[in-house]
């Protein structure tokens, strides 16, 4: 699901790029009807690479963060209001390099056992998008389309269509891994 060919990503010498580190959280939780959801967010419009894109809660590692796991938990609390003690990290997912922003993203799969009381960060979050687990697993919600990106005027990208929102790029790649892991667990 990566929008940049995997071969290109494998050939990147990260020691020359000196990427910034980011931690993000793929957080599952029960909704009020006891169905499992995952939360995504639509970022506000701003002057930057990821303006108005859908992604996981998360962000860059700060000096005071002991490790990248702490970054993902801190950023999740800052962006959607869920305290770290309410999140059980199940596992780390595959680290992914994002060339346009020069971030090395460390995603984590987390679970909250109760329905969260979300508190979106007004400065960064335009909207929370709650996606039912069955939509994550639904192959009919995966497609391709041509979009304008920071690196191409006509990029043909794979994406997830959740509630009318296009989820592509690094977030789609991470969601694809989550989907594969959950699919294997259901077999």
The CA distance from 154 to 125, in Å, is 27
The CA distance from 144 to 156, in Å, is 7
- Measure the CA angle with vertex 18, ends 101 and 23; round to 5°: 60
- pLDDT per residue as tens, the chain (187 positions): 655 555 455 566 666 678 999 999 999 999 988 899 999 999 987 565 545 689 999 999 999 999 999 999 999 999 999 999 999 999 999 999 988 788 999 999 999 999 999 999 999 999 999 999 999 999 999 999 887 666 667 778 899 999 899 999 899 999 999 999 987 776 5
| Distant-in-sequence, close-in-space partners of 21: CB < 8 Å, separation ≥ 6 | 60, 61, 68, 71, 103, 104, 106
The CA distance from 127 to 21, in Å, is 24
Instruction: Answer yes or no: pTM beyond 0.85.
Output: yes
| Residue appearing with tokens 């910034």 | 20
């Amino acid at each position: 699901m990566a929008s940049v060919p995997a071969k290109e990503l494998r050939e990147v010498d990260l020691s020359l790029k000196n990427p910034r580190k980011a931690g993000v959280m793929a957080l599952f939780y029960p909704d009020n009807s006891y169905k499992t959801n995952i939360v995504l967010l639509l970022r506000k419009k701003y002057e930057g690479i990821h303006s108005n894109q859908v992604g996981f809660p998360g962000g860059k590692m700060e000096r005071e963060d002991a490790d990248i796991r702490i970054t993902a938990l801190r950023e999740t609390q800052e962006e959607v209001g869920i305290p770290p003690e309410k999140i059980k990290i199940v596992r780390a997912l595959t680290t992914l390099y994002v060339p346009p922003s020069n971030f090395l993203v460390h995603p984590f799969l987390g679970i909250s056992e109760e329905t969260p009381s979300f508190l979106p960060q007004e400065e960064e979050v335009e909207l929370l998008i709650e996606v039912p687990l069955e939509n994550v697993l639904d192959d009919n919600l995966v497609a391709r389309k041509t979009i304008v990106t920071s690196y191409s005027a006509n990029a043909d990208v794979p994406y997830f269509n959740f509630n009318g929102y296009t989820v592509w790029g690094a977030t789609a790649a991470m969601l694809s891994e989550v989907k594969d892991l959950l699919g294997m667990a259901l077999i």
